Structure 1
Amino acid sequence: MATSWSQRKRSRALTREVSPNFTKALANYFGTGPTDVDASRAAHANYVAALRENGVEVEVLPGLSDFPDCTFVEDAGVVIDDAVVIPYMGHPSRRGEQVAVREYLGRCLEVFEMPEGAKMDGGDVIFFDDRFLVGHSTRTNMAGIEFFSGVALTRGYPTMVFEVPESTLHLTTICSSPKPGMLVPCRRTHGAGSICRTCG
């Protein structure tokens, strides 16, 4: 049965260590200079520590040398109550990151694996109040959205679809929902404000 944002208890989190080859990660959307692996590892450790300090049970999967982007674990699985959608990821270099995520989450959740042809990154999904906002982007196509929406509907959640500018990686790059009833858009991104207006 569907639950609202405020009813959800976030007591567990799945994370993944920074890859030893993080310098080879897909970074063309950021362009802020060379990747500092040591700084990235320190930031990740602080993130995990902050979660634990706030009572969250955290599982940390090992980083993968073959998948430089693997630390962005939210892209490899989207949890919907007692289910998890395992996306067919949008960039070829990232396909394979899902294996360990599927194995871990499949122990306690019903797994829905997205078929080839449909594609999605979890970064294009935001849970807002009683629905999912999904971005149609360079990483997520309509077939992927339709698959995800079908699973969400079986759990009682509708979805709303938004176009993500080609200059932007994911929906979560331009918008986030830090607490119930709140959407925070990126002012400088075309279309981000309209998401907030549409969701009211």
Structure 2
Amino acid sequence: YVAALREAGAKVTELEPLVDFPDSLFVEDTALCLSEGVVFLKPGPPSRFGEVSAIKPVLSDLFKEVRSIKGIGTIEAGDILVTPREVLVGRSARTNGSGIAELREILNDWDYPLREVPVPNGVLHFKSDCSLLDATTILATARLAATNCFEDYDVILTAEGEEAAANAIRYNGDVIMAAGFPNTAKRLKQFGYRIKEINNSECAKIDGGMSCLSLRF
């Protein structure tokens, strides 16, 4: 995973394991990183709260403005998809209305429109079922696309039975996706995307995908 990001041109900072927080490898959930600043989020399970405290000193000096979710709500970045036109936030078991409302207030200050979208039953995070391929194109599962949350975008559907392929990341020109989904990979190549497939078998056992493992900015 780290090698794929570096090959795509990313400067990667690897963090030490947080042995007291077994979910901490899913570092994406702790913060939303935008050009205007960083928003430290509030994961759903209380057992993850310490992850945010650990990432704060790493990120705070890298952004000109630092904000935090401080209220009773919860929100994880696995439910947040940033596109050039808006920020889509899925309401899920991990992200609730209060958390979304507080993030909306912060993003209003930075002129980012936020749109709340549904997350299908049984799906952990909004981005478990989608990813941004370019400014106007979304890779999504059929079940998520059926909610009509992507009406203003071009949508490429994952192949039947390959729903876990929906969580991918694009860095520079490379689409980094989990290996083992040949029909979806073929479909993306047919649309002209350059694909890098990497083994994600261990993270997949606990619903982890490509975006979960890093904060990209």
Q: Under a length normalisation based on structure 2, what TM-score does the superposition of the two structures give? A: 0.66
Choose which of 107, 121, 135 in structure 2 pairs with 1:166: 121
Alignment correspondent of 1:79: 33
Point out where structure 2 has 5 or more consecutive residues left out of the alignment.
155-217
Which residue pairs with 2:17 in the alignment? 63
Contact 2:137 2:153 in 1 (8 A): no
Of 88, 94, 114, 2:42 maps to 88
Q: Are 2:79 and 1:114 aligned?
A: no
Distance in 2 between residues matched to 1:175 and 1:190, nearest whole Å:
8
Distance 1:78 1:192, change over 3 A: farther
Tell me which amino acid in the other structure corresponds to 1:76. Answer: T
Displacement of 1:50: 1.2
2:67 is paired with a residue of what secondary structure?
strand
- 1:58 Cα deviation (Å)? 0.8
d(CA) in 2 for partners of 1:163 and 1:114? 21
Q: C-alpha deviations, 1:74-107, integer Å up to 9, x for none?
A: 1001012131111111112211111221111101
Check 1:80–1:151 CA distance in 2 against 1; reply closer, same or farther (3 A cut).
farther
Rounded to whole Å, the distance in 2 between the matches of 1:59 and 1:75 is 17
Counterpart of 1:100, as a letter, is A
List alignment gaps of at least 5 residues for structure 1.
Answer: 1-46
Alpha carbons 1:64, 1:70 under 8 Å: kept: yes
The number of aligned residues is 153
Which of 117, 122, 133 is the equivalent residue of 2:88? Answer: 133
How far 1:129 moved relative to its partner? 2.1
- Residue in 1 that maps onto 2:6: 52
Q: Is the 8 A contact 2:118 2:147 kept in 1?
A: no
Runs of 4+ aligned residues of structure 1 deviating over 4 Å after TM superposition are 190-193
Post-superposition Cα deviations, 1:27-68, rounded to whole Å, max 9, x if no partner, equal: xxxxxxxxxxxxxxxxxxxx1111112221111111111111
| Partners of 2:136 and 2:153 within 8 A in 1 | no
Q: Residues 111 and 144 (structure 1 numbering): CA distance in 2 closer, same or farther, change over 3 Å? A: same
- Distance 1:101-1:108 versus aligned 2 partners, 3 A rule: same
Q: Are 2:100 and 1:151 equivalent residues in the alignment?
A: no
Partners of 1:152 and 1:159 within 8 A in 2: yes
Name the CA distance, whole Å, in 2 between partners of 1:179 and 1:60: 26
Task: State whether residues 80 and 155 of structure 1, in contact with CA within 8 Å, keep that contact through their aligned partners in structure 2.
Answer: no
1:80–1:150 distance in 2 versus 1, CA, 3 Å = farther
The CA RMSD over aligned residues, in Å, is 1.6
- Is the partner of 1:168 in helix, strand or coil? coil
Whole-Å Cα distance in 2 between the matches of residues 190 and 113 of structure 1? 29
Check conservation: 1:177, 1:183, Cα contact below 8 A. yes
- Cα displacement (A) at 1:192: 4.8
Distance 2:109 2:62 in 1: 18
